[in-house]
Chain A
Amino acid sequence: MTESESENESGTGTDTGTGTGSRVRTLPVTDLSLVVLIGASGSGKSTFARKHFRPTEVISSDFCRGLVADDENDQSASGDAFDVLHYIAGKRLAAGRRTVVDATNVQQESRRQLVELARKHDVLPIAVVLDVPEEVCAARNAARADRADMPRRVVRRHIRELRRSLRGLEREGFRKVHVLRGAEEAEAAEVRTEKRYNDLTHLTGPFDIIGDVHGCSSELESLLGKLGYADGVHPAGRTAVFVGDLVDRGPDSPGVLRRVMSMVASGDALCVPGNHENKYGRHLKGRKVRHTHGLAETVEQMAGESEEFRQRVREFIDGLVSHYVLDGGRLVVCHAGLPEKYHGRTSGRVRSHALYGETTGETDEFGLPVRYPWAEDYRGRAAVVYGHTPVPEATWLNNTICLDTGAVFGGKLTALRYPERELVDVPAERVWYEPVRPLASEAPGGHEGRPLDLADVHGRRVVETRHAGRVSVREENAAAALEVMSRFAVDPRLMPYLPPTMAPTATSRVDTRGGAADELFLEHPAEAFEQYRADGVARVVCEEKHMGSRAVALVCRDEGTARDRFGAAGVTGALYTRTGRPFFPDSSPDSSPESAEGSAEGVSLTERILGRVRDAVTEAGLWEELGTDWVLLDAELLPWSLKASGLLRSQYAAVGAAAGAVFPGALAALEGAAARGVDVGDLLVRQRERAADAAAFTDAYRRYCWPTSGLEGVRLAPFQILAVQGRSLAGVPHDEQLALIDRLVTADASGLLATTRRLYVDTGDPDSVRAGVDWWLEMTGRGGEGMVVKPLGALVRSAQGRLVQPGIKCRGREYLRIIYGPEYTRPENLDRLRSRSLNHKRSLALREYALGLEALDRLADGEPLWRVHEAVFGVLALESEPVDPRL
């Protein structure tokens, strides 16, 4: 390991001047480094710093002394002053800013602290020594009022200590030591800022980043060919980037090295070292290394090569830089992955990390080190492309991707086209080397993946979404979601999505009082069409609302698919509500017959519904057409009374019952009083209207209730296929979606599936808009729940680039009695109800939508379960935000 500690990034060495002052010295200083000036009081450090560095780059101990003690020369404040100095320097280095320390630094202890600070922040410590004669220093001090009384012995001591230090500076850890001898040389010296070796931000590619080759020369040639390279050169000028581990285990490491070295030499490729190159390099230098993990093969193959080639390989490996920062900082390539704080940094620790990754210190059952899952914590802006850990499929995780797909173990050799982010691979020609441990399966649902951890969901969180940036989840909302998710939800592996809430249309200003209809509206589709027109959405689809319960159905082709893809045994999918609860209490695969009420022949209701949908998918030929073994459906389950019966009885029917019981008597009393000649004013009229409102309310909820027995009477109305294997279909236009859905409904012989009626409207065409309004009036006039207006293009952005609402609901006038109460249509009530604020609801709808899309995208990309679950959990948590529940 000592070898890996050495850092190739910068040539270490002491650059000692001649002391004659006869030539102008140029001091290379790395752009990100800690520059430690060393010199006696009066040696000209501050002048030197002022001349060569920006004022904000320089922190002087005198200044810090002033800060803490109001006196730059108060030596008793030195301790506090250096605390401040170290603190500021630490903050600057953490932020990636070069820092110059202007203090005498003649004592080893003070330098040790600074070297430690540089290491802590993974930057190079650089020493610049101003070795100026005592007389000069003394004369300068004497000329300064504040130092005039500084005893001569102090300067003498400084110079004595400095001289004593000179030889040991490199050993102390300084990676560059510049010694300027004499006042003249110090004054004449120039500083040249150098880029770090790993800084290739000026290269923008395009790149083809290639995973671990491990001596698979033939596969490499095939892949290069597939990528369009001819003899190592791409006609379009693309650059190959190798993530290391070119050698060992495979059949032809010399061939791979020859190819890569020539491409690097000609500027057609970049290469970072892998741990295997590193070890082989040490072997070539004559160090004793164990010929394990495939090194023996390389050594043997290289034995057949010339000494000259081996020498060139040695130099090549010696010159490799641990990682590269490319494309303006947007891309980082290294062998084993790199947390953001190490990007562009230079230290032994960074190199070690880049080559070996971080391990937890534990070993797994195969005796291999357990790697710390750094990518799970990664939140950096730069895409990190790496290899090192064989995985069955290359998948993005938090903007990182591992390209080692185990070519030498019989997997495949994978390349990533950047910036296109396309994966290109060629299969291994054979298993060249038996793996110690089987390639880990990272299937979604985490069949063998890591289990969900509380830290994935608990507390205040921010979820990165590709469609709406960062979405925050507050602690109290996560806490509530945790309770519901843990106690009531279906297995998270079978719940890759939760539907977002939907905003209603802007509050209606439509007032037909005095007109033929003589009706007031709280919601009316005219506003929905207008809102989409304003958002630049020309074409929308109106979809009938069924007044069922929102349902998500995950339907797998068979139990095997559910097991392999989602890791759940004994089921073929799931059917769950908006908060992830199962619709039927029998969804347990292990449930004993007596607990599975309503089941026939021991098959649960859930499984019977899934079975019918499955048959329809099969009959419609959609498995083949969509290239999938499972579908995720967004749907409504009818009747409403199936799920909401508790609420219906405790709230809706109860209100109807109370109203029905009270009005006959109340009206009779009023009529009696009126008959006696008592002036009851408009009270009687009003009570009659209220009685009629209450009756209308009862009629309203009754429409959505009917008895069911088993599956008899149960309908499922799907309206969108959310996802299939490897693809989110959330962006598929709704007319195409509905065409697929129609085929499902047609193919369903069981009568379970219900069709969703729809009408297409051009928001800019008044006739079309009128037709849409009439359609809605007709539907809701018959008691229909209403409709949802959606942009035809499904996933649509406004001209300003913001997501537009994925749907706007327009609820029927009668239906809204269930929401706003029996008497909401009374003018005095409606006037007050119209002052409702939709802003929070709209924002919530978009945030939940973005989280839902994110869950589907992560599912499609084959990301691990916890990543999908993070977004799904976010939707549930946001649902507990304080927003008017009637919207």
Chain B
Amino acid sequence: MFLTISTTGAPEHPATDLGHLLHKHPDNAQAFSTSYGTAHVLYPEASAERCTAALLLEVDAVALVRRGKGKGRGGAPDAALAQYVNDRPYAASSLLAVALSSVFSSAMKGVCRTRPELPGRPLPLRIEVPALPARGGADLVRALFEPLGWTVDAEPVPLDTAFPDWGDSRYVRLVLEGEQRIADALRHLYVLLPVLDDAKHYWVSSDEVDKLLRAGEGWLPDHPEQKLITSRYLSRRWSLTRQAMERLELVRLAETDDSAVEEIDNAVEEVEEVEEVEEAEGAERTGTDDGRTDAAEEPVPLAVRRREAIVAVLRDAGAARVLDLGCGQGQLVQALLKDVRFTEIVGVDVSMRALAVASRRLKLDRMGERQAGRVRLVQGSLAYTDKRLKGYDAAVLSEVVEHLDLPRLPALEYAVFGAARPRTVIVTTPNVEYNVRWGTLPAGHVRHSDHRFEWTREEFGNWAGTVAGRHGYGVEFVPVGPDDPEVGPPTQMAVFTLGTGTGTDTGTSATTTTARNTKEEKAA
């Protein structure tokens, strides 16, 4: 909510020219009413040698929250999203950028009626932003401003000095120095403040997003981080549309528990656009969410291989009516739709957001009747038995079991193998032994933040053997992905078939697999 712009001068070029450039007289304190509060411009110093203009935006936090209750534009869509405890009154956020553009609109356009020659002249500028929210940290701040000719000093602000182990906050104290035209400096700030802002929910309306893009003319196209800047705009625009489908019920449940909604509404990756890239990199891992993409490691994404393996097993099993239990964003459903032998495909997920994304991905609302008749997406939970799931040829649990706490796994086992009892059940799950082969995965880390566990081949084998024996299924194991001689494949798959083995038989087959694995390990 606060920044200063300083310049230095000499008697022939007095620093106080800044007042002409900004169209604000250095000897007055002026107030401007903006959509989000009152903006004040004043000059703590104004001499020929040195002149500093300060912009202070008094954000009305109460109005910000209450605005959301009405239908007015630019408001948060629901009171539940808006917090009275909010950094908006203090941090140099997108709100400050909006205030900047309205208070200094002429300066930003490079217009100065009284001294037309001034705007075209670069000045030695020093800009201080004491609390800049910077998603991506000081490094990103430098990466954004340095290519524009600024000398950047970005110092992280600690979260709370009383609790040093909490580390740094997302704010930096930013000082920019450089010879710049004032209009360019303002437009840099106007575009990059929101880019760095880490707001969860946006108060800026979509036409302002377009304005931000226009402000990038002249410098944005050649900026080395142009892709990131643009992608953050796009994700911002996506967030604007997303507000409409925000799961407010989950927001409230998170608040009940004093936790952030991201902690529980995390069934769908936040950054949808980069998903394909993430898949290429190994779909499990949480992508770096600043939009920067790492180089692909594998030619064929593992997720694609997994789907191919699943579809192959389903074809072999002659399954026509298939359940995708834990369908997520519907990638497997999409793959199954391409083969007409799958006459009925039911995607089940407990996350309504996942189902909404899946429905969008499949374009269910525009799908032809014949094809749409083959597919259904329903909310369900494998913690409960479900009569709707009875009587199917096959059920797929692809990368699902590891998202359950172990004590709750027996309920899933019963719901699938005891109650639904499809003829074929396919379960895939990460092989934790393979994790050492993921270069970018720190040792001891699971592949996805929501993985409650990851199994070795032996652990998976034992589990599958026990489940199969208990419920009258036979089980076979199929590697997915490159089968590393030492640590096995990245994904392990178990194919359960009803009535092909007694308890003892499946026990043996599990043991056999384990034995084979052990042998391979020894050989390696």
Contact = CB atoms under 8 A, between A and B. Distances in A.
A451 B413 CA distance: 12
A590 B406 contact: yes
A680 B40 CA distance: 10
A477 B250 CA distance: 9
A409 B36 CA distance: 77
B4 interface: yes
A819 B83 CA distance: 8
B252 interface: yes
A694 B160 CA distance: 13
B130 A678 contact: no
B44 A884 contact: no
A653 B350 contact: no
Given A488-B264, A657-B169, A879-B252, A673 B258 contact: no
Interface in B83-139: 83-87, 89-91, 128, 130-131, 133
Interface string B50-79: 001010101001110010000000000011
A578 B256 contact: yes
Interface stretch (A186-194, A454-462, A766-774): A454-462
Nearest to B405: A588
Interface in B246-266: 247-250, 252-253, 255-260, 263-264
Binding site secondary structure of chain A: helix
A672 B46 CA distance: 10
A872 B29 CA distance: 59
A476 interface: yes
A455 B62 CA distance: 43
B84 A659 contact: no
A527 interface: no
B171 A653 contact: no
A485 B61 contact: no
A654 B89 CA distance: 12
B381 interface: yes
Contact of A661 (B29, B130, B352, B387): B130
A458 B348 CA distance: 14
Contacts of B379: 458, 479, 482
Contacts, number: 275
Given A658-B131, A672-B45, A486 B169 contact: no
Contacts of A646: 259-260, 263
Interface string B227-250: 000000000000000000001111
B407 to A, nearest CB: 5
Contacts of A591: 406, 453
Interface in A417-456: 451-456
Given A483-B264, A654-B171, A657-B169, A676 B159 contact: no
Interface stretch (A18-26, A158-166, A286-294, A663-671): A663-671
Contacts of B384: 451-454, 456-458, 486
Contacts of A705: 163
Contact of B28 (A483, A549, A678): A678
Interface string A823-843: 110000100110000000000
B367 interface: no
A876 B253 contact: yes
Contact of A658 (B90, B128, B387): B90
B165 to A, nearest CB: 7
Given A655-B86, A882-B248, A483 B419 contact: no
Of the candidates B78, B258, B453, the one having the most CB atoms from chain A within 10 angstroms of its own CB is B258
A885 to B, nearest CB: 5
Given A651-B83, A658-B87, A885 B29 contact: no
B388 to A, nearest CB: 8
B253 to A, nearest CB: 5
Interface residues of A, number: 104
Contacts of B45: 672, 676
A650 interface: yes
A702 interface: yes
A315 B250 CA distance: 65
Contacts of A876: 253
B340 to A, nearest CB: 30
Contacts of B381: 454, 482-483, 485-486
A657 B407 contact: no
B80 interface: yes
Nearest to A491: B407
A454 B28 contact: no
A59 B173 CA distance: 87
Which 6 pairs, one residue from A and one from B, show the smallest C-beta to C-beta distance?
A672-B44, A480-B249, A821-B84, A880-B249, A658-B90, A657-B169
Given A454-B384, A668-B44, 10 more contacts: A451-B418, A453-B384, A458-B379, A491-B407, A657-B159, A662-B1, A666-B54, A670-B44, A818-B85, A885-B252
30 contacts: A452-B384, A454-B388, A485-B383, A487-B267, A578-B256, A588-B405, A589-B407, A644-B259, A647-B259, A652-B85, A655-B86, A657-B160, A661-B171, A663-B90, A668-B44, A669-B42, A670-B42, A670-B56, A672-B52, A678-B29, A679-B29, A681-B29, A683-B42, A690-B89, A820-B84, A821-B62, A822-B85, A824-B84, A880-B252, A885-B252
Interface of A: 451-458, 476-477, 479-488, 490-492, 501, 549, 568, 571, 577-579, 581-582, 587-592, 594-595, 640, 643-644, 646-647, 649-666, 668-673, 676-681, 683, 686-687, 690, 694, 697-698, 702, 705, 707, 818-824, 829, 832-833, 876, 879-886
